[in-house]
Amino acid sequence: KQEVTQIPAALSVPEGENLVLNCSFTDSAIYNLQWFRQDPGKGLTSLLLIQSSQREQTSGRLNASLDKSSGRSTLYIAASQPGDSATYLCAVTRDNYGQNFVFGPGTRLSVLP
């Protein structure tokens, strides 16, 4: 059974710092990996989707990498801002149908002004 873990569970950094969030999964046979952001009391917003054949994806200040063989993904946030404060979740799926999406517990990020 696929298990997804995220380290750290919580992170507090000063504004302007670059940071890395980690996601690990036990079964490397994934189809894609997706990073989400969740603000308190809100739904999930998709940030980046990495197909299993890709190594990384970039969007603005965000860069996500994928190493299938080691079962790891990292989300790099450059020049963090207070508006980046949220919980970040990663999720993996092993096929093209989505029903096997497995989510990690999330990392709660606080960026202090």
Q: Which residues bind another protein (CB under 8 A)?
A: 31-32, 34, 36, 41-46, 49, 89, 91, 93, 95-99, 101, 103-106
Least distance (Å) from another protein to the CB of residue 83?
19
Establish whether the linkage from the previous residue to 8 is cis, with ω within 30° of 0.
Answer: yes
Q: Which is nearer to another protein, 43 or 83 (CB)?
A: 43
Contacts of range 64-71, beta carbons closer than 8 Å, 24 or more positions apart: 64/33, 64/35, 66/33, 68/28, 68/30, 69/28, 70/28, 71/24, 71/25, 71/26, 71/27, 71/28
Least distance (Å) from another protein to the CB of residue 49?
5
Q: Which is nearer to another protein, 66 or 89 (CB)?
A: 89
Q: Which is nearer to another protein, 13 or 102 (CB)?
A: 102
Least distance (Å) from another protein to the CB of residue 93?
6
Least distance (Å) from another protein to the CB of residue 37?
11
> Residue length, the chain?
113
Contacts of 41 (CB under 8 A, 6+ apart): none
